[in-house]
Structure 1
């Protein structure tokens, strides 16, 4: 049979199976069985294969995977894949799969050139789709680097991009460059180059290669041909405003212009500056000079430099109009002026050889050839010789000041005022513009919330507000010319009572406080009782705080009643004081107390006043206590305490405190202490069938307990007996079995005790051992042995193998007799057999023949 044909013989039936029929399989088929033949004709009809799920366009990023999938209408249809008419075959990058009617094409890693049409063909059906590949953003593998090129040579800038097809643009500064005689733009694989031909100094700049998503820049420098100075600059001296010129010669003509500096200032060609180059000769011309140009002149070209000194002399200044003497009256102004030629750039003024600066006193001006000094508000100190100097020329003149006479027209007048009142002082001078300063007792005064200073014409006024007695003294008004003073007297206000005393009724043995308030915080007062002055003592305390005045009387008695007065100056306030009898009450009553038996506690009662002469009585449960036993009563001042030590249950009851007919009641509650286990359970070991007893001691007799085994409650039964013998709790376990082993717990309300019970078998042994047996094949063998006590656990073994009850092996136990029956014996049953009861074992040999 061939690969596509199957021949099957089953009984008298013969079959020919043709797999995957094709048109070429059509024809007549003959089955030849030597003596007989039969034939049949096969006609193959073409099938119509259709695409049930067509391909779909796929778009991916470069270097990602892409998958195409489609389904056909029939099974076992051969399929072909094409990309742009080229048949695809499996490779490292291409995977072709078929699962039933689903056909899949997988590109593991696509490149830009993989983009195009993908086609699937299955017999007469086909499906097409497009693979679109988005190129990855261009990145820079190597950026541009700064380059230096020799003048008139060729310079190359180069970078490397991530994709050979990347398009780039070149820029010089911000100007895009195009290919031509000057610039060559080269793309060589991943490399991008810019070639600059015939390099000139003006080619120096920042060059940028722009690849769209990324760009890189670098500096391009031009190194000039070596140039030296063969004839340097020479120093020059001129008088302003004559021109000055400097000349320098280089070894070769310069392409790049040189740099000229005057001092640190770079010179540029302009109105006053001329820059020329004639071959190798360079000239600088300063058409109009001035003295401020004096300094060094520098010529720099390439790495060469030459310097010279320029000196510009001033034109001598000559005085053409001198200063004239001036006289002025005090507080007036004078003006000094003189002329120079030519107009000076600056002048300096002096007074008696002291340089002057512009200020509120001196105003200076220089206008063309004229210099002016204005002296404002003349004082006698401004008199003297003034000098104006411009270069070597100078002029001097004297200024005299006529002092004025200031007189007092109306002097200050002495004044008196009441405390917190207002007082006004004023004086009149002969001149309106005379300024004065006010002071009180030597302290300068200014306009504020307590002082008001004014000046109208020749009249000067001072108003003092809310004066105090401390302000008494001298008020002065002083100016540079005159000084006047007057006396101020401030009288204190009469002291009055702002709050009078009140009549008071107080309790005997208590404390009395009388309080009033005066208008003067410093005022002294006198206290009297029934006309007798009182002084400090243990009986009396006095209060003097701000305006408050007070008297405190301690430990009052009926003798302290009377008329109390407080006097300040001529004013007096009174208080009638009465003292009433002492009233004693209970201010803190007894409180109920609850304690455990054997603990201590106390009861406390407090009176409003001490009463040492009146005895107190304590009763507990109707019985008077406090003098002996475990009851103890004490008094501390107003506090009465009853202490109960080691309280017993019999002490419980009502507690009553009595004194002076006063009574306070409370309860004493004694709670029983919870029962504790004083002697715990002990672990026990016993043998099968024995009775075992577990017991513990309790702190109090007759207490009920709970018994538990392995956490489960135990009740009285034939198995368990629960006993109580005084303070002893007992659990009896009858006829212990192995199941009785475990953890037993005795539990009270407050505590518990746990112990373990271990039940062991009695020592057992074999009284009759197994005997060896010889039995014929297919027969039955019976092993028999006897124990001293009934065995609870029996294990039979054949060799090392433990035997289980079955039709082959039948173990049995009748009282002390143990048997193993082996049925349908075979030679393989021959072995050593063991009977194991845990504490002993016996063995015998079985031979099957």
Structure 2
């Protein structure tokens, strides 16, 4: 807080022109008179001050002091000392504004964001000359003003970001007397620069079965999207989409005649570029040769290591074939009429084919490629987007070997990975296997002459199930009933007898849910167990009921048998009904259990 002073009269020691005091601190004002007077007094903002727990007024001879302890913002203002017609005073302090309120984000795009807010809600009227808006990159320490001058309105659109990143924003109010505290806008917001097309797409022509490549260069680094005939496309088995700094590339892996005349469009950074794809029929040369003469068919490949297969009318031809450098030849000796037909050559580069890699969830995956020079650098891409090192992604170089290591693999890691060095590419397709679903045998004990109900749930209302006892299909009778209620399929056994004991199975296609009924003369007791199967013997799982982790007890047991993980519940009661989850890493397998009375058990696996 600040105190300012003005002077008058014959005061020998005057108040300072300005005093700045931190909140909660103590301030002491001191005035000396040439001749002491008895009725001198102090005022603050025109109001005479009296001593209290914080204010002390003292006089020693000609010296008068005012002490204010534990200062607050309310103590700011004009302080005056008055002795008859002599006065020294401080002018009233002008307050800086309070911070603005209610931040709102509107009209968010890839390259811009509009922020709105409300003016401060102050008890006293405080003028506001403008607002300062600042941004900070997530992870950075420094805030940067988005404009060189203050913003006059309670709305501002931020665009023309120079760097692609996630940002945070904050706002403060300003006037001639200072700046308010900052109001932070909740959340983080991804923005990228606006960019113009530096080198646009060009029309492309390709033969059926060939690759077609489209490249566009922008003026700044930003993301983009590709469409063919206004249909959004992504990297996969048909397309490869890559980005290297400001250059975006689309490769159509195998052109079909249906794409003839297709419009290929790239949109990114607020700009777009369009081109047209022309598709021609596959190469076909007319070769005429006399009967009993020799015919030689030739094709040329771009790599001397490329292998070529020859086909006649679609069938593989295994006659005389020759390779000379990049030339591949099919030689037909002593041609006969039966040799007439359509011959085609198909080639594949062993160094660029796609490898299928299967890995279990929570395990490590390693992709390797080999380069010809130990100094060669490679780039790794996933679904066309370049990868960088992180806690779970590591890149290693060992001699001529280049490796990509993925730690603790999750389902989201599945996809197409590419190792690129110059124009050479090696593709991998990673498939992530999660937990397998496995239902264990549920044991049901029921007293003789009682009713037993077995239930399973299907995923489709129209699904039909079959019920079996000890492997033999059951049909309805006086004591055996089968019912369908929505997705629930039930088997009802009336007036249970000893010969009803055995193993019952509910089957729908290849899915089976087994139960085992034991008939006793005592009160009904129900035990059951549910299972999940993991892909690795060492994998540990956690069991949850209604989101709360379970631990072993007298009635709850957890067992591991090979790759099977079981949860066993004994003497089931109604309180045991609920949703059970088997979790390993980020993989989950859900079971829904309902218990009615003493002999109704309903287990459904929720994929």
TM-score class normalised by the smaller sequence: under 0.3
What is the TM-score normalised by the length of structure 1?
0.19
What is the TM-score normalised by the length of structure 2?
0.25
Give the structure, 1 or 2, with the largest relative contact order (CA under 8 Å, sep 6 or more). Answer: 2
